[in-house]
Amino acid sequence: MKIIECQQRSNDWFKARLGLPTASKIGVLFTPTGKQAANATRRRYALELAIEKLTKRPTFVPTTFHMDRGTELEPQARIWYYLETRRKADEIGFALADSGLTGCSPDGFVSNDGAVEIKCPAMPHFAEIIMTGEIDAAWLMQCHHTLYVTGRDWIDFVLYTDVEPFTGWIKRIYRDDEICEKIEQAVEDFTAEVQDMTETLIERGGLTQDMLKFEPPIFNDCETVDITM
């Protein structure tokens, strides 16, 4: 693993992620049963990454009210996690896998062998997870992907809300070598798909090597490639 020291959502952070499948969307590569997916959603994600590689700009991802609220609540969730566990979650920039093919930005590293992933969903979603004890398949795969990339032994999945009388909920997930092997294979297969799309776009788009030699722009949240239309 290689740690790229940068502020999350900074220019350097966006650059580090360009064209790579990352933890937040790794669930797209799998079905709910854990098999590799073969559907339009996976193909769309591959196309997004191929476009990123060629334009050198991150894909525009519209945020929702609950996504923005989660970002706002994350500092409170960190404090709550520390008070509950007496464990400090140290923020990092971007963790790149040894293969260089994928990476992740966990919400923090804990001691020398742990990590933390914080989610602040809407209350019905929050309550459903607490009642069942089951984490959404995509979020669970995100946690396993973080363990695969970082080599850490465990990750605390943290649910948090500021809606009283609730506060938070923690579930520890341990590294599973079998799942890590599945992720590694899926990433290799998916990377090949992205490369095939990239080469097709170059050929059919009439792009020359000279056209591809340009400096990546300095971008912020607003300066991205919008392919949602």
Between the alpha carbon of residue 76 and those of residues 88, 107, 159, 164, the distances in Å are: 13, 13, 12, 14
pLDDT value of position 219: 54
Residue 220: inside a domain, yes or no?
A: no
Residue pair 214/56 in contact by the 8 Å Cβ criterion: yes
Residue 171: inside a domain, yes or no?
A: yes
For residue 11, the SS3 value is: helix
Q: What are the pLDDT tens digits along the chain (229 aa)? A: 999 999 888 888 988 999 999 999 999 999 988 999 999 999 999 999 999 999 998 887 777 787 788 889 999 999 999 999 999 999 999 999 999 999 999 999 999 999 999 999 999 999 999 999 999 999 999 999 999 999 999 999 999 999 999 999 999 999 999 999 999 999 999 999 999 999 999 999 998 888 888 777 665 543 434 333 3
The domain of 189 spans: 2-212
Gap between the Cα atoms of 200 and 208, Å rounded: 13
Residue 227: inside a domain, yes or no?
A: no
The CATH number covering residue 145 comes to: 3.90.320.10
Query: Nearest CA to 229 among 59, 109, 67, 21?
Result: 59
Residue 224: inside a domain, yes or no?
A: no
Residue 64: inside a domain, yes or no?
A: yes
Residue 58: inside a domain, yes or no?
A: yes
pLDDT value of position 163: 95
Gap between the Cα atoms of 68 and 52, Å rounded: 24
Residue 180: inside a domain, yes or no?
A: yes
Query: Nearest CA to 15 among 58, 45, 46?
Result: 58
Residue 149: inside a domain, yes or no?
A: yes
Gap between the Cα atoms of 44 and 8, Å rounded: 24
The total domain count for the chain is 1
Residues with Cβ within 8 Å of 185's Cβ and at least 6 positions away in sequence, in order, are 36
